[in-house]
Amino acid sequence: MKKETYERITAPFRTNSKRAQTINVINKAITYAIYVAYPLLLIWLFFTEVDQGLIVDFMNNGLFIRALAVPLVSFVLLSVLRKALNAKRPYEVFGLDPIIPKKTKGKSFPSRHVFSIFVIGMTFLAVLKSPVFGIIILIMGAFLAIIRVVSGVHFPRDVIAGMILGILSGIIGFYLL
C-alpha cells in the first residue's frame, strides 16, 4: 500500500472528529461484545457438559475443552508468528497518527483482533446447534476488519490474513481433528 492510498482510506475519519470517535466506539463495542460472549459460551458449555458427564470426553462430545483449547492454542501460535514476523503497522510506515489510539510497534501481521473474532465465530458455529450467533460474530468480524484498516492500525493484508487464519483454525480444530 502506498502512502497516498493509506491517506485516502483514513481521510474521512482523520478529518472528522465525530467519525473518528464513532470508529473508536464501534471498535471497542465489537471487541467488548466478544470479550463477554465468548466467556459466556464457555460457562454455558461447562455447566451443560458437567450436567451430562461429558466434560472429560474431549474427542467425542466434550465441546467445552475443545471450545477452550482451539482458540487458546491458535491464539498462542498466532502471537508467536506475529512476534517472529514483526511487521510494521501503517502508522509506523507512513508516519501518520492512527485514528484508534495505538502505540504498539510492529506485530501487525496478521491482525490478532480479526483472527480472534473469526476463530471465536467459528467456535460458536461449531458448538451451537443454531448458526445464528456464529454468523453474527463473523459479520462483526468483517466490520472489525474494515475498522482496523480505515483507522490506520492495520494494512488490508493483516486483516485478510487474520480472517483466513481464524477460519482455518476453526475448521482444523473443530472439524478435522
Q: Which of 27, 118, 11, 45 has the alpha carbon at shortest distance from 75?
A: 118
Is residue 121 predicted with pLDDT exceeding 70?
Answer: yes
How many separate domains does the chain show?
1
Residue 62, number of CB atoms within 10 A of its CB: 17
Question: What's the mean per-residue pLDDT of the chain?
Answer: 92
Parent domain of 49: 3-176
**Cβ atoms of residues 119 and 169 within 8 Å:** yes
Q: How confident is the model at residue 49 (pLDDT cuts 50, 70, 90)?
A: confident
Cα–Cα distance measured from residue 47 to residue 66, given in angstroms and rounded to the nearest whole number: 15
Looking at the predicted structure, is the pLDDT value of residue 62 above 90?
no
What is the rounded CA–CA span in Å between residue 67 and residue 43? 11
Q: Residue 48: what pLDDT?
A: 82
Exposed e or buried b per residue across 23-59, where buried means at least 16 C-beta atoms within 10 angstroms of its C-beta: bbebbeebeeebeebbeebbeebbeebeeeebbeeee
pLDDT at 96: 87
What predicted TM-score, i.e. pTM, was given to this entire model? Answer: 0.93
Q: Are 149 and 156 in contact (CB under 8 A)?
A: yes
